[in-house]
Amino acid sequence: MAKVDVIMPQMGESIAEGTLTKWLKAVGDTVNRDEDLFEISTDKVDADIPSSVAGTLVEILVEEGATVEVNSVVARIETDAGAVVSAETASPEPAAADQVAAVDPVAPEATPSIEPEPAPAPASSVEPIAPAATTAPGEPESREERLRTKSTPVVRKIAAEHGVDISALEGSGISGRVTRDDIMAHIESGAAAPIQPAAETTAAPPVATPAAPSTPPAPAGAPGMMSVQIHGATLDIKIPSVPIREGDRVEEMSRVRLRTMEHMLMSKRISAHVTSVNEIDFERVVQLRRKLKGQFAEEGVKLTYGPFIMKAVVEALRDYPILNASVDGTRIVYHRDINLGIAVSINDGKELIVPVLKNADGLSLKGLATGANVLAEKARTKTLDFDDIQGGSFTITNVGVFGNLFGTPIVNQPQVAILGTGVIEKRPVVVQDTMGNDVIGIRHMSYFGLSYDHRVVDGAMAAFFLNKLKDVIENFPEDAV
């Protein structure tokens, strides 16, 4: 017999820890390969984690409600000695980075289907609050009941601070799950808060917000220092102190914001960033979209500008595969599949998550639209699983949703390029009339900015890629639908 370690999986590049919310198996239980073993909750996604091997659960090392770092051993399974042994339950590849913008399949007509998402609210490892019992003792809960009574660390922390019993609230999430917006709306409404029994809460009574401290709060570790992990090495960065004056408001960064800061600093340090910009005429796409919108709608598919952009990106990546690659030491890994990261804004723009549309190069325009819509809906209803947020090979991010002309996004490691699309708007431009004369015309125009890793992508190659993108969009073939 052999023992296999079960680890806490990484549910995205910027996720450093997760809360083990429920064990679905007990010590001594038989576990089948791919059978759900435990539930986890992170600031990005909740998921049931399957076992990678068949055997008997012999040790549970992390109790329900505990928050641990990714790759921590949470249990051990005993398997037959001859079985193929996996060292981990799940090991997702990094998800797309927490950029400041997102592709949105339901964006308004005046802009491309891409919209941004600020980072989520602070999370912590506060012990979870035991939900009210929903089943008889010993009776297994259904998945819907577990989802209803389960919440993220952020929600539990807010509930604990305000003395709110989560199980007494009506949630808007999947299966009635209470979201951060639900609990904040309840608190801000001034409604009488359902009080948790004393035995169920670990939070102290709420106290008045203190005045701004005379010195800034120091990050974890040495005062005024931040540690960044780069290829297994720790880099200590000195953070300058900031004078805090009367009237200033001070708040700690959330765990997600700290991880985002670390990931972006790491990317800037690893990749030699360069950005090239091209102006693109969207008039052809605007006209084609107007023609196809009704047809798509009859089939239940909402058609925005996003699928046109994705289709053009796919065509450009086929011609210039260096943009669909990664750097592994001194080797360049050219990815066979084109997996597009599609960032989606959730919780009224308070949070960002980037699901990945797999094998986008095999999808039609309708397939791209359908896939993007499904991923966006799953993101907003918190039903994404770890397979939905891993494996991206190229990222699209929008800086135009707020009217910005273009941007210079940071490359999402380990990818080598990221496309930032600017606002699509009517502008006066020089065009040719039917006689070949230059005249001033009104066109829907946009600026596309491509940030790329100059270690492997040169300016000429980036220009070729952008020119191909421009050519596909300006002459979009109707048979590509």
pLDDT in tens, the chain (481 residues): 788 999 888 766 556 678 888 899 999 999 998 888 998 877 566 778 888 889 999 999 999 888 888 888 999 999 875 444 444 444 444 333 333 334 443 343 433 334 343 333 333 333 333 333 344 444 444 544 544 555 555 676 677 777 787 777 777 654 566 776 677 777 766 654 444 444 444 444 444 444 444 444 444 444 466 665 555 566 666 777 889 999 999 988 776 667 777 878 888 989 999 999 999 999 999 999 999 999 999 999 999 999 999 999 999 999 999 999 999 989 999 999 999 998 777 767 666 777 899 999 999 999 999 999 999 888 888 888 888 888 999 999 888 877 889 989 999 889 999 999 999 999 999 998 888 899 999 999 999 999 999 999 999 999 999 999 999 999 998 776 6
End of a domain among 57, 79, 101? 79
Residue 257 lies in a domain: no
DSSP state of 96: P
Within-domain flag for 107: no
The beta-strand segments (E) located in 264-413 are 273-281, 325-328, 331-334, 340-342, 344-346, 351-353, 356-357, 394-398
Q: Which of 328, 458, 471, 479 is catalytic?
A: 458
pLDDT at position 215 is 40
What is the strand order of the sheet 36-41 is part of? 46-50, 36-41, 17-23, 67-69
The number of distinct structural domains making up the chain is: 3
458 is catalytic: yes
The predicted structure's pLDDT at residue 398: 82
Domain containing 176 — which CATH number? 4.10.320.10
Do 356 and 451 lie in a common domain? yes
C-alpha 251, offset from chain centre: 23
Q: Output the CA–CA distances (angstroms, integers) from residue 217 to 16, 212, 258, 263, in the order listed.
A: 21, 10, 14, 21
- Distance of alpha carbon 289 from alpha carbon 103, whole angstroms: 17
Catalytic choice (162, 273, 335, 454): 454
Last residue of a domain, one of 200, 216, 235: 200
Give the pLDDT score at 132.
38
Q: What is the pLDDT of residue 231?
A: 56
Q: Please check whether residue 278 lies inside any domain of the structure.
A: yes
Taking the CB of residue 281, how many other CB atoms lie within 10 A of it? 19
Do 287 and 389 fall into the same domain? yes
Task: Give the DSSP H/E element, type plus range, for residue 155.
Answer: helix 153-162
In DSSP terms, which residues pair with 412 in a beta bridge? none
User: For residue 448, what is the domain's CATH number?
Assistant: 3.30.559.10
Distance CA 439, CA 421 (A): 27
Q: Are 181 and 327 members of one domain?
A: no
Please check whether residue 279 lies inside any domain of the structure: yes
Whether 165 and 312 share a structural domain: no
**Secondary structure of residue 268 in the 3-state scheme:** helix
180/308 same-domain check: no
What torsion, rounded to 10 degrees, do the Cα atoms 186, 187, 193, 195 define? 120
Distance CA 392, CA 261 (A): 20
Dihedral pair phi/psi, residue 455, rounded to 5°: -65, -35
288 and 162 assigned to the same domain: no
CATH number of 8's domain: 2.40.50.100
Q: Tell whether 381 is covered by a domain.
A: yes
State which residues form the domain around 30.
2-79
pTM over 0.75: no
With respect to residue 140, please indicate whether it lies within any of the assigned structural domains: no
Q: Looking at residue 274, what is its pLDDT?
A: 96
Residue 219: Cβ within 10 Å count = 17
Q: Are residues 461 and 323 in the same domain?
A: yes
Q: Are residues 430 and 354 in the same domain?
A: yes
Q: Quick one: 353 and 470 in the same domain?
A: yes
Residue 169 lies in a domain: yes
Residue 426 inside a domain? The answer is yes
Q: Are residues 186 and 285 in the same domain?
A: no
- Domain finish residue from 35, 59, 79: 79
Residue 458 and residue 359 in one domain? yes
Is the domain of 277 the same as that of 391?
Answer: yes
